[in-house]
Copies of this chain bind each other. A is one copy, B any other.
Amino acid sequence: MLTDRQLVILKTIIDEFAISAEPVGSKLLIEKYGLPYSSATIRNEMAILEELGYLEKTHTSSGRVPSLMGYRFYVDSLMEINVEDEVKQQLQTVFYDRRKSVNEIVVECCDILSELTSLTSVGLGPDASRESLQRITLVPLTHKSVTAIIVTDKGHVENKTFAINPELSLEDLNNCVSLMNDLLVGCPINEILDKLEDEVKPILAARIRQHELLFNAFMEAFVRFAGSNVHFSGKENMLYQPEYSDVVKVRKIVKAFENNDLWRQLNPVDQGMMIRIGDSDYELGIEDVSIISSSFKTGDHTHGSISVIGPTRMQYNRVVSLVEYISNEIQKIFDDEEVE
């Protein structure tokens, strides 16, 4: 069990290191933070905190740096969650604009989050492939092209344009679409891929000459629902953090940011906060990275999340407060809608 003095010292070191990114020495705690102990006392306490695993040294005669365990303890027991009123107000103007879709709100929240934290944030919109097919509509463009518009029950839209030619008539297309509307409406998008293969394809093959072409085109359009709902804000913020002033690390970060699939995998499945410190278990390929995520339920089977990515020394209290607040507010919007 830590004494009060040890707690204060640990907390101050974590706070200071979040700002300076430099190992913290005993003298600084007195000069800058006015701790009412001598530097020798602080050094003794720091030695104890190190022995207990909360602090580390970068070399024998350096100042102290919080360990992963130190951060974990800070996050679990030491930090205070609090969002400033001005920030709340700023955010409310985003949330209470009812014209906006979930995805739009998620995108705007990410932008604000990375602005407020000077870090990188990722928003994962609800996974559209868990939504179900609402309707496929054909809109003729010219006398030789038609676009098929696929809408889910949550209003996610994909489309695919077809050229009308001797091999593929408008009638064929109409038949195909009404067949699919009959068989597939109400079915979750991720199950449609199988159903398309098993149920639609045989019928199509019997009725339409260019069934392969049609079939593949629709397959492709349905597959697209699964992608394209990862939004990043402030990617470059991460590159201004002093711990990544090394080109090799920067490359790794950029590479990780380009890999949307990775972030879809990192989407926390359970509702609520998830605080990954030092990215110990997940394979980001970057060191010294922490990820604060919070997910929200947007329907029976769908959920989204917002995350902030930053160096391990990030200001957890601020970041966690913001992410939690925003995620809760987004959740509220959905809960309200359900009740209505």
Interface residues of chain A, those whose CB is within 8 Å of chain B, are 98-99, 101, 134-135, 137, 139, 141-142, 144-145, 147, 149, 151, 153-155, 157, 159-163, 165, 213, 216-217, 220, 235-236, 239-240, 244-247, 250-251, 254-255, 258, 337, 340
Contacts and interface: CB of A to CB of B under 8 A. Distances in A.
B254 A235 contact: yes
Main secondary structure of the interface of A (DSSP, over half): mixed
Given A154-B141, A247-B245, A251-B239, A161 B101 contact: yes
Contact of A239 (B153, B160, B247): B247
Contacts of A247: 239, 244-247, 250
Contacts of A99: 162, 213, 216-217, 220
Given A99-B216, A147-B155, A236-B258, 4 more contacts: A99-B162, A165-B340, A245-B247, A247-B247
B144 A134 contact: no
Contacts of A258: 235-236
A151 B139 contact: yes
A149 to B, nearest CB: 6
A322 B211 CA distance: 34
A305 B93 CA distance: 38
Contacts of A217: 99
A100 to B, nearest CB: 9
B144 A340 contact: yes
Contacts of A145: 155
Contacts of A149: 137, 139, 149, 151, 157
Contact of A157 (B157, B163, B235, B337): B157
A141 to B, nearest CB: 5
Contacts of A165: 340
Given A236-B258, A239-B254, A157 B159 contact: yes
Given A251-B240, A254-B235, A141 B157 contact: no
A163 B220 CA distance: 30
A196 to B, nearest CB: 15
A101 to B, nearest CB: 5
Nearest to A238: B254
A244 to B, nearest CB: 8
A336 to B, nearest CB: 11
A154 B145 CA distance: 9
Contacts of A144: 340
Closest 3 CB pairs of A and B: A155-B161, A147-B155, A157-B159
